[in-house]
């Protein structure tokens, strides 16, 4: 019991220092420093808003198109940040891994936490947009909490799998780049679900990310967002499919990572 506590204490200490270091180094040497954490999403949103909402009139059929669009992008970007950041993370830390024994999952967790910090900054901007667009926030906004937990779980699951695979197969990073590109269009970020053929929609919404994005929009922005509940004609338990998919993926990913992590020191 004491040993167990000691082990997690070490992980905890390491995790804190790694997150702290990454955060310190992120904007080092820039004049505006941490302010960029807010400015970056703000500028990115402005560009996307101008292109998609103003010029392409993407959101004529939906309430608050700007917030609708931004929320989807923020969630997608979080997933991409965690997963692509993790792919080469183990190999990048090879110096450490070869010199000292520490729980390797801390590396992936530190990336997740870094991304969560970014997500919080992004949400500050989203809240500004919500107020500016006059979105009526209802108590259903609280659903964001379990949805974000699901988002973390699915990101972590993929991150564990990819980072462990990358140690053996360096092709993973290129493959994942392509998957992310395709995934961006296979997920209802820039377009409305209601425009898709019903069969496609039924399949696509089973993707945890599509489900998370649509549910989040429903909870936070507008009830016009098509959720998995509506696509499957009011089946109360349908959400169990993407959620259990996430859970299984997380267990497998973490298990694979754990079994591989023993030989990381020899293979990186």
Partner 1 sequence: MTDDTVIRVEHVSKDFVLPHEKVTSIKSAFTGMFSRSRTKESQHALKDISFEIKKGEFFGIVGRNGSGKSTMLKILAGIYQPTKGSVETRGKLVPFIELGVGFNPELTGRENVYLNGAMLGFSRKEVSRMYDDIVAFAELEKFMDQKLKNYSSGMQVRLAFSMATRSEADILLIDEVLAVGDADFQRKCFDYFKELKRDKKTVVFVSHDMSAIREYCDSAVLIEQSELKLRGSADEVSAEYTRLFLDQTDHKAKQGDRWGDESIKTKHIAVKVNDDTLTITQTFEAQADQASVIAGFRIRNAAGQEVTGTNTKFERIKIPALKAGDIKTLTWSMPNCLSDGKYVVDPAILHQDGVRVLEWWDAAAHFEIKKDRRLPYILDPSFNLKIQ
Which listed residue (101, 134, 178, 233) binds partner 1 by CB under 8 A?
Answer: 101
- Minimum Å distance from CB 38 to partner 1? 23
CB-wise, 60 or 101, nearer to partner 1? 101
SS3 221: coil
Task: Decide: residue 131, CB within 10 A, 0-12 exposed, 13-18 middle, 19+ buried.
Answer: exposed
67, 129 in Cβ contact below 8 A? yes
Closest approach of Cβ 10 to partner 1, in Å?
Answer: 5
CA–CA dist 14, 106 (Å, integer): 7
| Beta carbon nearer to partner 1, 187 or 261 | 261
CB-nearer residue toward partner 1: 94 or 194: 94
C-beta closer to partner 1: residue 136 or 168: 168
Size of the site for partner 1 (CB under 8 A): 22
Contact (CB, 8 A) for 268 and 98 = yes
Shortest spacing between CB 250 and partner 1, in angstroms:
24
Nearer to partner 1, 104 or 218 (CB): 104
Pick one of 42, 44, 96, 190: the residue that binds partner 1 (CB under 8 A): 96
Is the CB of 232 or the CB of 256 nearer to partner 1?
A: 256
- Helix, strand, coil percentages, rounded to 5, for the chain: 75, 0, 25
Distance of CA 204 to the CA centre of its chain: 17
Closer residue to partner 1 in complex, CB, 22/63: 22
Using the rule CB under 8 A, which residue among 51, 57, 61, 98 binds partner 1? 98
Q: Give the number of other CB atoms < 10 A from CB of residue 29.
A: 6
* Contacts to partner 1 from residues 16-45, by CB under 8 A: 16-17, 21, 24-25, 28
Q: Do residues 97 and 29 make contact, with C-beta atoms less than 8 angstroms apart?
A: no
CB 256 → partner 1: shortest distance, Å?
Answer: 16
When the beta carbons of 33 and 146 are compared against partner 1, the nearer one is: 33
User: Does residue 259 touch partner 1 according to CB under 8 A?
Assistant: no
Among 14, 82, 164, 167, binds partner 1 (CB under 8 A): 14
The correct pick among 82, 97, 157, 212 for binding partner 1 (CB under 8 A) is: 97
Question: Which pair of tokens denotes residue 92?
Answer: 């990048």
Write 149-153 long-range contacts (CB < 8 A, 24+). Answer: 150/208, 150/212, 150/242, 150/243, 150/246, 151/75, 151/78, 151/79, 151/209, 151/212, 152/112, 152/116, 153/246, 153/247, 153/250
Q: Which of 102, 184, 232, 256 binds partner 1 (CB under 8 A)?
A: 102
d(CA 68, CA 222): 8
Residues binding partner 1 (CB under 8 A): 9-10, 13-14, 16-17, 21, 24-25, 28, 95-102, 262-263, 265-266
């Amino acid at each position: 019991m004491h040993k167990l506590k000691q082990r997690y204490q070490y992980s905890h200490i390491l995790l804190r220092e790694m997150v702290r270091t990454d955060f310190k180094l992120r904007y080092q040497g820039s004049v505006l420093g941490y302010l960029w954490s807010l400015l970056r999403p703000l500028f990115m949103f402005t560009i996307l808003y101008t292109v998609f909402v103003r010029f392409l009139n993407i959101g004529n059929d939906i309430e608050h198109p700007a917030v609708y669009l931004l929320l989807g992008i923020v969630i997608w970007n979080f997933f991409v940040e965690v997963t692509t950041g993790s792919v080469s993370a183990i190999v990048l830390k090879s110096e450490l891994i070869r010199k000292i024994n520490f729980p390797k999952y801390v590396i992936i967790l530190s990336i997740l936490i870094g991304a969560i910090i970014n997500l919080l900054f992004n949400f500050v901007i989203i809240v500004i947009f919500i107020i500016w667009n006059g979105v009526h926030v209802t108590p259903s906004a609280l659903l964001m909490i379990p949805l974000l937990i699901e988002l973390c779980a699915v990101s972590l699951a993929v991150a564990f799998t990819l980072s462990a695979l990358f140690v053996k197969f360096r092709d993973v990073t290129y493959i994942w780049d392509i998957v992310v590109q395709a995934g961006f269009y296979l997920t209802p970020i820039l377009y409305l679900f209601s425009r898709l053929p019903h069969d496609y929609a039924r399949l696509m919404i089973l993707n945890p990310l599509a489900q998370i994005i649509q549910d989040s929009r429903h909870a936070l922005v507008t009830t016009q967002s098509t959720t998995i509940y509506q696509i499957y004609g009011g089946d109360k338990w349908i959400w169990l499919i993407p959620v259990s998919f996430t859970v299984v993926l997380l267990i497998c990913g973490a298990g694979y990572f754990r079994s591989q992590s023993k030989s990381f020191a020899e293979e990186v």
